[in-house]
Structure 1
Amino acid sequence: MPRSLRSPAPWTRYSHIFGAFALASSLAACSDDGGGADEANCEGETTAGGSDESSTDESGSGESEVGETGTETDTGTVAPEHYEVAFDVVDLAPDDVEIAEDFYLGGYGLYTARGPAEGTHDGVYARTMAVGYGEDDGLIVTVVDTVGFGNQWTREIRAAAAAATGLSPEQLIVSATHTHSGPDFQGLWGGVPEVYRERVISAIAASMAAAWAARVPARLEVASTTADNRNRRGWEFTDETLVALQAFSLEDDSRLGLTTIFAAHPVILDDDNLLISRDFCGYTVDALEDELGAPALFINGVQGDVSPKVADGDYADDFERAEAYGGHVAERTLAILSEAEEVGVSFHRDYSDFTIPVENENFLFASQAGILDFDFETDADGVSVQTQTAYFRLGDNQVQLIAFPGESLTRNGLAVKEVMSAPHQAIMGLSGDALGYFVPSDEWMTGLNDSYEESVSMSMSAGDTARDVMIELIAADPWSG
């Protein structure tokens, strides 16, 4: 039996009963009920809007403020002596009633052309890692088994999670594995029932709140290696780096969880598959959790033009091919965990909103038709979409992470990584938003892969704009270079 059909792990929560209750409980803790809650820590911003400016953390996350671990800085702030970490996993699988109500999978073909989903092969989840640095600094990242999110979804999720945790939306990352056999949370392929949409949004926000509330003193370790993938636009290179970030409790040295970041399109299951599935990502996660006995996250990387490189073999079907490739990624991850280095207790973050023109006629038509779960803006200069990126550095320039709001092509992503100087660095793809492909302008409409990626890009300038904003954020880091 394929491992993705195993029973959910013992730490898995169920969104039917968990999401609304946990979120309501978190919000109640921040209410003015006379119970002594710190009102300032419960206010959290509720929108992701803003100007096209970076917003470096001023609460002590930059080295100019933090100083040496455990010592008092010039501002009087005592730097934390350790991280605080927790994980959370929520089952988002739709029930039979929800699947029967025009439930569509995302990723292939035109609107509703694939046909509605017919059932579930393996479940979909929200998996969350929270990393705290002091009382109110840190980050939360949640990755969901879907092709991507419309910004209406991500803004609502981040607003709810911010209200529940007291954190800024800038510290909250909602990511997608990009499985092409997961629910359509963008509306591009037919969407999902409203009742399911509401349940999922509540459950994801609740997962973020639960992980933040459950943090315990922890040690972080990191290791990097490579795994097999291939470029589908004819380039002889990809970002083949695999980064593994694991956490252990300082109390008993038990493993709290693991996050793996690696780039490959989850398209081993073809467009004729109508069963909900996580594709190879699910097999990777299941293999890691079975071996380690702790939650595992898979976050996709610079995967815009990158496909899986499945080993030759006699496979009965695409599910077996997905299991083989997922197993490969898991094996490459497991092989380096014993060599992982401890991450020093130091934290820096930065953030920027920016605007991308929307010039793709298909997106414009779908928006006007009201089928997209995206908010676009229209002014005298045309149609645009506001998005964002968030940058994080952990340790003494040991780990650098940046959130990319869509599918970065290889040359675009590698240009961003070129300005990183840490030994362990990763771009978290489809994180914050899922705004299609980001193509370097010098690669635009050059016929590579029949210019498919250009047909699902917001505009020619999107790739260069995102790249330049991210490079500026990284360059502003005191450790840059």
Structure 2
Amino acid sequence: MKRILVFLSFILVSQAAFAAHYQVGVAKTNITPKKHQRAEVCMGGYGAPFEKCGLTDVNDRLSSRTLAISDKDTTMIITALDAPGISKAIIEKIKRRAQRRFGLSPDHVFIAATHSHAGPDLQGVWGGASDEYENYVVRKVIRSMRRALRNQEPALIYTSTTVAPVENRRGHAVVDESVNILDIVSRHDRERIATLVNMSAHPTIIPAENTAYSAGYIHYLREAVEDELGGITVFVNGVVGDAQAVTNELRGIDIAQEYGERVGERIVDAIAHCQRVRGDLAIRTTTLTHPVTNPLILGGIQAGLIDLALNENGHVTTTFSYFNFGHDVQGVTFPGEALSRLAIPIKDSLTGDVNFFFGLTNDTLGYFLPSDEFLQIEGRTTEESASLDPFIGDAAKQTLITLIQQ
């Protein structure tokens, strides 16, 4: 009997040591351009530069949403902005301030764009935004980080997964239809703190002729989850390079609403069958330096339309991260729009019960294609025209898989 009690005590102590104690906080803040700022802000996502500048209409408020997760010795910040993309200069400014004010390691701060095609152009590709508005966004993001850190409380983290109606717009059979979820509740009263949603579907249901600021289907998805569960929903896009929502080719605000609400319902249903996340939080980061050879990109840089820093050899340097919560949850960050045939093998190399892929995170470097797919689809070069180089996708894939396997 004594041996049994000793054995049970050992099991309980081991389980207690294995179950990490998380502190989690969340915050959101409005980043919709103010009325006086809109004259010098261009909407990004569609068309040629300067086609959509000075717009005044707003369909739904744009936001910056921050999730702060800590265990005993590591803090991760995830901030998602409703914008098509974010320049490296803005991201670095946010990271420097976060390090100076909160002591956060830049490698542990993940700044993502939801990729809304009706958000402000924070890259410069479609005409950009004024310094005033860019600085306004930076201040708002830092404010959301400060509130999220201050709001941290003991929390339980659960994970679950479902699927969304997604198809490959380049005609391939392969696409990432998974919707991966972190559901976070207070350890004290089980009230919901936040829900993180990571999925792959280009936010292009709102058509190119739209002139009202919007987060697209993402707004309605977040609203549906929050209305049902409470807390704040943070959306991070996934393998969006060639993934699009299945809407039977219908487009419009009403179609975006229907799609967002439908996926939101699936997320709520999936959370009813979640599993608890255990284990310490760990983060690893690496860099890739690669040549930029696309003449369209180089011309945009020279014209001052694209905010992209190259070294003296015409190379760009970007970062990739791997994170995990014990063995249950693993994930990677990716600095652009990865195509399915490139990204799904990366996800397959992860071994968690639920695996995350944060696209357009900590950089916005356009499309990443596998080299054997470059210029191989007749009549479609959208992704190739916004790729830095035919081989940057292969290099990114190898960099991430090496990082995962360390």
Q: Report if TM-score (shorter chain) is over 0.5.
A: yes
Give the stretch that moved more between structures: 220-229 or 107-116.
Answer: 107-116
Q: Does the Cα contact within 8 Å between 2:167 and 2:175 map onto a contact in 1? A: yes
Once residues 164 and 121 of structure 1 are traced to their aligned partners in structure 2, the CA distance between those partners, rounded to angstroms, is 34
Q: Does the Cα contact within 8 Å between 1:248 and 1:254 map onto a contact in 2? A: yes
Q: Does the Cα contact within 8 Å between 1:153 and 1:373 map onto a contact in 2? A: no
Structure 2 counterpart SS, 1:302: coil
Once residues 99 and 121 of structure 2 are traced to their aligned partners in structure 1, the CA distance between those partners, rounded to angstroms, is 24
| Structure 1 runs (4+) greater than 4 angstroms displaced | 67-71
Structure 2 counterpart SS, 1:87: strand
Query: Who is 1:14 aligned against?
Result: none
Letter aligned with residue 216 of structure 2? D
Query: Who is 1:374 aligned against?
Result: 308
**Which residue of 70, 89, 93 maps to 1:132?**
70
Once residues 140 and 352 of structure 1 are traced to their aligned partners in structure 2, the CA distance between those partners, rounded to angstroms, is 17
Q: Offset of 1:167 from its aligned partner?
A: 1.6
Q: Does the Cα contact within 8 Å between 1:248 and 1:256 map onto a contact in 2? A: yes
Q: Offset of 1:214 from its aligned partner?
A: 2.1
Letter aligned with residue 441 of structure 1? S
Q: Does the Cα contact within 8 Å between 2:19 and 2:278 map onto a contact in 1? A: no
Q: Offset of 1:155 from its aligned partner?
A: 0.8
**RMSD in angstroms over aligned alpha carbons?**
1.8
Q: Does the Cα contact within 8 Å between 1:83 and 1:345 map onto a contact in 2? A: no
Q: Does the Cα contact within 8 Å between 2:20 and 2:280 map onto a contact in 1? A: no
Structure 2 counterpart SS, 1:259: strand
Structure 2 counterpart SS, 1:206: helix
Q: Offset of 1:356 from its aligned partner?
A: 2.4
**Which residue of 82, 89, 101 maps to 2:21?**
82
TM-score where L is the length of structure 1? 0.79
Written as runs of structure 1 = structure 2, the 5 A alignment for 1:195-206 is 195-206=132-143
Residues 137 and 302 of structure 1, relative CA distance in 2, 3 Å threshold: same
Once residues 120 and 293 of structure 1 are traced to their aligned partners in structure 2, the CA distance between those partners, rounded to angstroms, is 25
Residues 330 and 442 of structure 1, relative CA distance in 2, 3 Å threshold: same
Letter aligned with residue 452 of structure 1? T
Written as runs of structure 1 = structure 2, the 5 A alignment for 1:400-415 is 400-415=330-345
- Aligned residues: percent identity? 32
Query: Who is 1:267 aligned against?
Result: 204
Once residues 104 and 76 of structure 2 are traced to their aligned partners in structure 1, the CA distance between those partners, rounded to angstroms, is 9
Query: Cα deviations across residues 243-294 of structure 1 (Å, max 9, x unaligned)?
Result: 1101111111111110011100001111111111111111111111111121
Query: Who is 1:75 aligned against?
Result: none
Letter aligned with residue 57 of structure 2? G
Q: Does the Cα contact within 8 Å between 1:404 and 1:428 map onto a contact in 2? A: yes
**Which residue of 325, 331, 337 maps to 1:394?**
325
Letter aligned with residue 175 of structure 1? A
Q: Does the Cα contact within 8 Å between 1:88 and 1:208 map onto a contact in 2? A: yes
Once residues 214 and 451 of structure 1 are traced to their aligned partners in structure 2, the CA distance between those partners, rounded to angstroms, is 46
Query: Who is 1:107 aligned against?
Result: 45
Q: Does the Cα contact within 8 Å between 1:261 and 1:428 map onto a contact in 2? A: yes
Query: Cα deviations across residues 268-326 of structure 1 (Å, max 9, x unaligned)?
Result: 111111111111111111111111121001111001001111268xx8x7110000111
Structure 1 counterpart SS, 2:330: strand
TM-score where L is the length of structure 2? 0.93
Q: Which runs of 5+ in 1 are unaligned?
A: 1-66, 72-78, 477-481
Q: Offset of 1:363 from its aligned partner?
A: 1.5
Once residues 429 and 226 of structure 1 are traced to their aligned partners in structure 2, the CA distance between those partners, rounded to angstroms, is 17
Query: Who is 1:98 aligned against?
Result: 37
Once residues 142 and 171 of structure 1 are traced to their aligned partners in structure 2, the CA distance between those partners, rounded to angstroms, is 11
Task: Tell me, yes or no, if structure 1 residue 151 matches structure 2 residue 81.
Answer: no
Query: Who is 1:360 aligned against?
Result: 294
Query: Who is 2:182 aligned against?
Result: 245
Structure 2 counterpart SS, 1:288: helix
Q: Offset of 1:213 from its aligned partner?
A: 2.9
Q: Does the Cα contact within 8 Å between 2:35 and 2:56 map onto a contact in 1? A: no
